[in-house]
């Protein structure tokens, strides 16, 4: 539904987005993951025709955004909740947007009710809290009942209740068969929201596929070993050529599963006090992966 | 296009800038006109033209409004929302210029006829009937002049996109540059007769406020100057729209 | 001193002062070059002529000074400032002093650059600064810029809104005073006492620095009845009163 091919954006000397290609499919929530400054917002602006790619292109349902007729009925987006005139009321903000794409005016009040802003509909948006602004932004994204939805960091600054609400909303939208593309710099957030992931670092694609697979691939598997005969265990591991490190009187073995480690220790005749497979934290893994992308770039002298 | 005009009408009517500028333009212009007429006394021959003494003030306020309606959209990010809704950009920007222009024209007519009405009230004895094309231009001509001035503001706003910069350029140009150019020896006068707001003043025929200069034969007549002023304003608008369409939002 | 350092850091950690100084210099000097460069026997270059463009720099300096305050309100840093320095009078006076000093420096640079360029362009005309009037006409630009910046800071504090403050300042300085002078009968009497007309009196006095040039071939002389010294005092007084009103308002108001 969204297809990017070799998408590139250069600002002066900096390459914000570098040959990015990916697909986003309908019926699923696709996370767009990368550290701050990785080029997520720039990519989203290019999808929406706000910024022109330096090269490459991106299409929605096979069309360039700028060629869509009444685009808000095809694509709804929340890029920055602060994009509103502070002197204009929530209802009037939605009114002009609706009018621009000939969306019937009753839809404005429906959306205000959906996001829970009915009671403040006639208040100036300048006095809104960040949470209220996010809700207003989501209302404007949903105004045209679009098949494709883009959200840029929608949970930023929200309270837990608000975060939960947005997650549920995105799942509902995807279940209705819509394409939902949501960016975040937090893998833990995406792990709970997105079924698919597009991961970028320094403007380049690092991964595209399911979230589960990414997490499997990303998290480093280690086995924690505790034993009264640590010296013997060390000896055996070295003999086997295993990599390990020590931590609080225990050994963390990487690159082997617990069966292999258990057998090796048994063969060395050591007593086991603990043999437990460990998973690294998601955030650690993610930082490692995108960190590699950073290093890769630095190494190239780009 | 009707749709986009409605969009821009909603946008303009739902923020305070338009109301403030309209109020200030009308009150300040008429207030100054009242002062002017009120203190004119017997030794001063009040005419239809001099009843419009305050009109340049309101014109400047509408120039400010023209700049503001664009730069505030860029500042608050609603320009991007607008371009998301209308990705081809040019139609919606032209709609904006049209809506602001229409408001400005209404304000201009209100100032023009309001000033005249005020003069008639304060000086019932003066010769203030609208006789001939020149008198009509002086009064009703404020409508098109205000319209074009606001459109010029929109053009400047689109080119500069920043409120402080846009206002500074617009105001320094209209209030300072045009007055100072005449100080340039020899060539100053030749430049002066081609400056946009001098042209606008020639169109309405109001000589109040422009320094009494021996400019000699002017290169254009009032209607020619009107067309020239319109050309400059529309050209700047076109340049603004063209840049906005090409630039990243 | 600490407060001055704080405000100095705030002002110079953005690029706007440099840009403003550059624009003030470029527009003023550029315009001076046009005027002086075209001087001839009929319209000779004089010391006063070299400063005909001073309004350009003045407008830029006032915009800069107003923005120094209004952007703090817009971005909320004024609250951070008042949090760090609960004595609002001290904080705002420090800001005013720093902005005014910058304006003073810009004014002197602009004035002497305009004069220097003129000397280069027209070596045949007598542009030497050989009287008090000549010196005041050039070196006096700095103090006028500084005091105008104080007024602009005051208006910025009162209006708190960039667009409003800039419009008000520029329309007032560049248009309203002249418009007032057009009011029949009483206009001239009011105009005599309007601040920027009085400031002009300080700079050009009775036209001594413009000797040799016909009165109608230059900027009109100030109609103020004050002597140059009193004119400066009057202009300074207006600025200080405006600032005092603004600070009193800011103290009473929620930040």
Q: Which of residues 3-62 of B touch A (CB under 8 A)?
A: 3-4, 6-7, 10-11, 14-17
Q: Please report which residue ranges of A4-153 form alpha helices under DSSP H.
A: 40-47, 90-100, 106-114, 130-142
- Chain B residue nearest residue A87, CA to CA: B15
Cross-chain Cβ contact C166/B171 below 8 Å: yes
Q: Percent of chain A, pLDDT > 90?
A: 54
Cross-chain Cβ contact B85/A92 below 8 Å: no
Cross-chain Cβ contact B172/C59 below 8 Å: yes
- Cβ neighbours around C26 below 10 Å, total: 15
Please write the tens of the pLDDT for every residue from C193-226: 999 999 989 998 887 787 767 656 667 788 888 9
Closest CA to B171 of C56, C26, C171: C171
Tell me how far apart the alpha carbons of residues A262 and A256 are, in angstroms, rounded to a whole number: 10
pLDDT at position A13 is 87
Q: Which residues pair with A222 in a beta bridge?
A: A254, A278
Q: Which residues of chain A form CATH 3.40.50.300? A: 2-217
Q: What is the DSSP string of chain B?
A: -HHHHHHHHHHHHTSHHHHHHHHHHHHHHHHHHHHHHHTT-TTS---TTGGGTTHHHHHHHHHHHHHHHHHHHHHHTHHHHHHHHSTT-HHHHHHHHHHHHHHHHHHHHHHHHHHHHHHHHH-TTS-----HHHHHHHHHTHHHHHHHHHHHHHHHHHHH--HHHHHHHHHIIIIIIHHHGGGSTTTHHHHHTT-HHHHHHHHHT--TTS------S-SS-HHHHHHHHHHHHHHHHHHHHHHHHHS--
For residue B214, give every residue at least 6 positions away whose Cβ sits within 8 Å of its Cβ, in sequence order, or none. none
Q: Which of C39, C163, C185 sits opposite B167 (nearest CB)?
A: C163
Q: Which of B39, B64, B180 sits opposite C167 (nearest CB)?
A: B64
Q: CA of B224 to nearest chain A CA: how many angstroms apart?
A: 38
Closest CA to A253 of A272, C156, B235, A299: A272
Q: CA of B226 to nearest chain A CA: how many angstroms apart?
A: 34
Backbone φ, ψ for residue A278 (5° rounding): -125, 145
User: Is residue C124 pLDDT above 90, yes or no?
Assistant: no
Please write the tens of the pLDDT for every residue from B211-241: 445 666 788 888 999 999 999 999 999 999 9
Query: Which among A42, A92, A95, A99 is the top mutation candidate for probing chain B, defined by the most B β-carbons within 10 Å of its own β-carbon?
Result: A99
Please write the tens of the pLDDT for every residue from C153-170: 999 999 998 999 999 999
Please write the tens of the pLDDT for every residue from B155-205: 999 999 999 999 999 999 988 888 888 888 878 888 888 999 999 989 998
Helices C141-159 and C54-74, axial angle in degrees (round to 10): 30
- Chain A residue nearest residue B89, CA to CA: A66
Range from B39-48, B192-201, C97-106, C110-119 carrying the lowest mean pLDDT:
B39-48
Q: Which position has the token pair 């005014």?
A: C100
Q: CA of B40 to nearest chain C CA: how many angstroms apart?
A: 5
User: Is residue B206 pLDDT above 90, yes or no?
Assistant: no
Count of residues in chain C: 255
Residues of B with CB under 8 A from a CB of C: 17, 32, 35-36, 39-41, 44, 53-54, 56-57, 60-61, 64, 68, 71-72, 163-164, 167-168, 171-172, 175-176, 179-180, 183-188, 208-209
Q: Which of B78, B88, B248 sits opposite A66 (nearest CB)?
A: B88
Tell me how far apart the alpha carbons of residues B47 and B27 are, in angstroms, rounded to a whole number: 21
**CB contact C52 to B (< 8 Å):** yes
Please write the tens of the pLDDT for every residue from A61-82: 999 999 999 999 999 999 998 8
Closest CA to B189 of B207, B206, B204, B211: B211
pLDDT at position C117 is 93
Q: What is the DSSP letter of C221?
A: P
Q: Which residues of chain A form CATH 3.30.70.100? A: 221-279
Size of interface A-B (CB pairs under 8 A): 81
Residues of chain B contacting residue A88, judged by C-beta atoms under 8 Å apart: 11, 14-15
Closest CA to A150 of A183, A173, A108, A112: A183
For residue C208, give every residue at least 6 positions away whose Cβ sits within 8 Å of its Cβ, in sequence order, or none. C131, C133, C134
C-alpha distances in angstroms, A217 versus A203, A212, A222, A281, C133?
21, 9, 13, 12, 82
Q: CA of A238 to nearest chain B CA: how many angstroms apart?
A: 58
Tell me how far apart the alpha carbons of residues B233 and B155 are, in angstroms, rounded to a whole number: 8
Cross-chain Cβ contact B186/C40 below 8 Å: yes
Q: Which position has the token pair 């950009």?
A: B89
Topology classification of domain A221-279: Alpha-Beta Plaits (3.30.70)
Q: Which position has the token pair 């009937």?
A: B129
- Vertex C191, ends C188 and C197: CA angle to 5°? 130
| Touch test B–A: 3 Cβ pairs or more under 8 Å | yes
Give the CATH superfamily of A2-217.
P-loop containing nucleotide triphosphate hydrolases (3.40.50.300)
User: Is residue C96 pLDDT above 90, yes or no?
Assistant: yes
Q: What is the ipTM of this complex?
A: 0.86
Q: CA of A189 to nearest chain B CA: how many angstroms apart?
A: 27
Q: Which residues pair with A77 in a beta bridge?
A: A150
Residue C41 three-state SS: coil
Closest CA to B246 of B91, B95, B89: B89
Query: Which among B7, B70, B74, B84 is the top mutation candidate for probing chain A, defined by the most A β-carbons within 10 Å of its own β-carbon?
Result: B84
Cross-chain Cβ contact A100/B4 below 8 Å: yes
Helices C88-121 and C16-37, axial angle in degrees (round to 10): 30
Which helix or strand (DSSP H or E) is residue A208 part of?
Answer: strand A204-210
- Give the burial string for A24-38 (b: 16+ CB within 10 Å, else e): bebebbbbbbbbeeb
Q: CA of A133 to nearest chain B CA: how many angstroms apart?
A: 13
Neighbours of chain B (3+ CB pairs under 8 A): A, C
pLDDT at position B211 is 47
Strand order in the sheet with A2-11: A14-24, A2-11, A55-60
Residue B209 binned pLDDT confidence (cut-offs 50, 70, 90): very low
Closest CA to A5 of A68, A48, A47: A47
Residues of chain B contacting residue C31, judged by C-beta atoms under 8 Å apart: 180
Query: Which among C184, C186, C204 is the top mutation candidate for probing chain B, defined by the most B β-carbons within 10 Å of its own β-carbon?
Result: C184
Q: Which position has the token pair 């067309």?
A: B227
Count of residues in chain A: 302
| Touch test B–C: 3 Cβ pairs or more under 8 Å | yes
Please write the tens of the pLDDT for every residue from A122-176: 999 988 998 899 999 999 999 999 999 999 999 887 888 889 999 999 999 999 9
Q: Residue B110 CA to chain centroid, in angstroms?
A: 13
Residue C180 three-state SS: helix
């Amino acid at each position: 539904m969204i297809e990017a091919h070799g998408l590139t954006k250069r600002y002066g000397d900096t390459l914000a987005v570098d040959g990015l290609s990916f697909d986003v499919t309908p019926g699923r929530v696709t996370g767009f993951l990368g550290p701050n400054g990785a080029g997520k917002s720039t990519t989203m602006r290019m999808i929406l025709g706000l910024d022109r790619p330096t090269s490459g292109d991106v299409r929605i349902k096979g069309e360039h955004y700028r060629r869509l007729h009444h685009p808000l009925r095809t694509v709804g987006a929340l890029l920055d909740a602060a994009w509103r005139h502070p002197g204009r009321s929530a209802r009037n903000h939605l009114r002009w947007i609706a009018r621009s794409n000939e969306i019937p005016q009753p839809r404005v009040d429906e959306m205000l009710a959906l996001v829970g802003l009915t009671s403040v509909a006639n208040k100036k948006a300048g006095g809104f809290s960040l949470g209220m602004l996010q809700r207003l932004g989501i209302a404007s994204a949903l105004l045209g009942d679009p098949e494709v939805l883009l959200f840029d960091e929608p949970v930023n600054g929200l309270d837990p209740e608000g975060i939960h609400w947005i997650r549920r909303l995105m799942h509902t939208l995807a279940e209705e068969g819509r394409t939902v593309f949501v960016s975040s710099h937090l893998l833990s957030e995406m792990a709970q929201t997105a079924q698919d992931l597009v991961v970028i670092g320094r403007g380049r694609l690092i991964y595209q596929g399911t979230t589960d697979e990414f997490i499997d691939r990303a998290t480093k598997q280690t086995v924690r070993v505790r034993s009264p005969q640590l010296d013997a265990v060390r000896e055996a591991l070295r003999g086997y050529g295993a990599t390990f490190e020590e931590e609080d009187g225990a050994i963390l073995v990487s690159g082997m599963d617990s069966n292999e480690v258990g057998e090796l220790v048994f063969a060395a005749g050591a007593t086991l006090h603990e043999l437990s497979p460990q998973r690294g934290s998601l955030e650690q893994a993610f930082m490692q992966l995108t960190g590699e992308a950073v290093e890769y770039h630095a190494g190239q002298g780009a | 296009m009707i749709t986009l005009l409605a969009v821009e009408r909603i946008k303009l009517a739902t923020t305070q800038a338009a109301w403030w500028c309209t109020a200030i333009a009308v009150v300040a212009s008429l207030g100054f006109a009242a002062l002017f007429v009120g203190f004119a006394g017997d030794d001063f021959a009040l005419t239809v033209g001099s009843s419009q003494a305050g009109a340049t003030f309101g014109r400047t306020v509408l120039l400010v409004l023209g700049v503001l309606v664009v730069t505030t959209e860029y500042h608050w990010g609603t320009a991007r929302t607008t371009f998301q809704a209308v990705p081809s950009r040019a139609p919606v920007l032209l709609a904006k210029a049209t809506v602001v222009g229409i408001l400005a024209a209404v304000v201009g007519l209100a100032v023009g006829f309001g000033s005249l009405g005020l003069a008639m009230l304060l000086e019932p004895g003066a010769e203030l009937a609208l006789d001939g094309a020149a008198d009509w231009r002086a009064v009703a001509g404020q409508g098109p002049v205000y319209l074009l001035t606001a459109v010029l503001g929109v053009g400047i706003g689109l080119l500069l996109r920043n409120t402080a910069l846009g206002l500074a350029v617009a105001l320094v140009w209209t209030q300072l540059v045009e007055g100072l150019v005449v100080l340039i020896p020899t060539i100053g006068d030749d430049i002066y007769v081609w400056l946009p707001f001098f042209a606008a003043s020639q169109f309405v025929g109001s000589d109040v406020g422009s320094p009494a200069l021996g400019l000699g034969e002017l290169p254009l007549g009032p209607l020619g100057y009107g067309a020239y002023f319109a050309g400059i304003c529309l050209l700047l608008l076109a340049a603004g729209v063209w840049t906005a369409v090409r630039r990243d939002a | 001193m600490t407060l001055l350092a704080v405000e100095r850091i705030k002002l110079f950690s953005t690029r706007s002062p440099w840009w403003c100084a550059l624009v003030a210099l470029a527009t003023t000097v550029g315009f001076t070059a046009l005027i002086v460069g075209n001087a001839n026997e009929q319209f000779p270059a004089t010391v006063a002529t070299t400063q005909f463009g001073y309004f350009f720099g003045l407008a830029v300096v006032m915009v800069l000074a107003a923005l120094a305050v209004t952007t703090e309100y817009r971005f909320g840093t004024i609250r951070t400032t008042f949090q760090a320095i609960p004595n609002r009078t001290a904080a705002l006076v420090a800001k005013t002093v720093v902005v005014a000093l910058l304006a003073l420096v810009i004014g002197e640079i602009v004035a002497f650059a305009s004069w220097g360029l003129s000397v280069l362009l027209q070596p045949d005309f007598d542009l030497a600064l050989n009287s008090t009037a000549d010196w005041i006409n050039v070196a006096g630009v700095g103090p006028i810029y500084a005091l105008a910046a104080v007024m602009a800071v005051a208006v910025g504090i009162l209006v708190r809104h960039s667009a409003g403050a800039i419009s008000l300042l520029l329309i007032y300085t560049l248009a309203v005073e002249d418009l007032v002078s057009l009011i029949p009968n009483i206009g001239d009497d009011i105009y005599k006492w309007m601040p920027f007309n009085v400031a002009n009196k300080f700079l050009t006095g009775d036209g001594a620095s413009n000797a040799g040039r016909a009165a109608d071939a230059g900027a009109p002389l100030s109609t103020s009845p004050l002597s140059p010294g009193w004119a400066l005092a009057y202009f300074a007084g207006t600025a200080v009163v405006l600032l005092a009103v603004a600070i009193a308002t800011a103290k009473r108001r929620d930040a």
